[in-house]
Amino acid sequence: MPVDALLKTMLDLNKDPTVEKLLKILSKKITNEAFADFLETERRTRSIVISGIEQGSDDMRPSERQTDLGNKHIDHHIQIKMKMENLLAFLLILSLLVTNL
């Protein structure tokens, strides 16, 4: 649910005038930049960091990130020999396990 819809729903369900004032103040303070920072923080908490692998640039498109990741030869860093698609599946499973801890 988008933030504006969530705030509208909260305002509609709210019966307390003090909470209504606070929600209106909060809605004015929530900016796109603050929300983008939150999303970036959330993305980083779900990332796996491999020592020795430099992070790709933030302005890369997803396809460029994938190519960049493939060119970094991650299998040498984690000492596992496998095809890239198997490695990505392994990393996806590992990330799901880590987020469920």
28-44 pLDDT tens trace: 777 676 777 777 887 77
User: What are the residues whose beta carbons fall under 8 Å from the beta carbon of 86, sequence distance 6 or more?
Assistant: none
In 10 A of CB 57, how many CB atoms? 9
Backbone conformation region of residue 5, classed left if phi is above 0, alpha if psi is from -120 to 50, else beta: alpha
Phi and psi angles of residue 32, each rounded to the nearest 5 degrees, phi first: -60, -35
Asked whether residue 23 carries a pLDDT value surpassing 60, the answer given is yes
Tell me the C-alpha distance between 21 and 7, whole Å: 12
Tell me the C-alpha distance between 101 and 99, whole Å: 6
12-21 pLDDT tens trace: 898 899 988 8
